[in-house]
Chain A
Amino acid sequence: AQSVAQPEDQVNVAEGNPLTVKCTYSVSGNPYLFWYVQYPNRGLQFLLKYITGDNLVKGSYGFEAEFNKSQTSFHLKKPSALVSDSALYFCAVRDTQAGTALIFGKGTTLSVSS
């Protein structure tokens, strides 16, 4: 069965410091991997996705993520955090052998302090 794990409920970083939000996944086939961000009372906003090719994916707002097949990970990163990055982040996977639905992790709250 497909699943996504976000091991940290919350990540705290100081503004200007690099940030990492962790994600690991489990699928039967090849994965399509996604990161979404959710602000309070808002829908999910797409950040980036990995389908194939270069393992380092660059997305919106300066975020990037690295696909690591051997570790089944897809950690979200940003070199320099902003206070406005504070939000709830979701990692999601689509198993290409198991349909079109995205399976989401439980989410990680990112808090960036000034």
Chain B
Amino acid sequence: SQKIEQNSEALNIQEGKTATLTCNYTNYSPAYLQWYRQDPGRGPVFLLLIRENEKEKRKERLKVTFDTTLKQSLFHITASQPADSATYLCAPTSSSNTGKLIFGQGTTLQVKP
């Protein structure tokens, strides 16, 4: 069955460092992959979408990579700030479905000043 794995343990880093979050998937051939941010008590908010033919995508301090051979996406936040502390969710999506978005369990990032 399809499976999405994100680091279940919280990631704690120092302000100014680069945070790297991992999203691995199995039994999937996603055409694209989305990343969302979720703050406590709030709904997820869309951050970035990367397609299977794109190796890398950037948006301000965010960078996402997509390796279809390794079946993995990496999400980087450079020059991290305490305000980046949140849970980050990945959602790989196959082109064969009807747009159904299935999420990983999320990784909680804590940036310490």
Whether chain B is bound by chain A comes out as: no
**Residues of B near any A CB (own CB < 8 A):** none
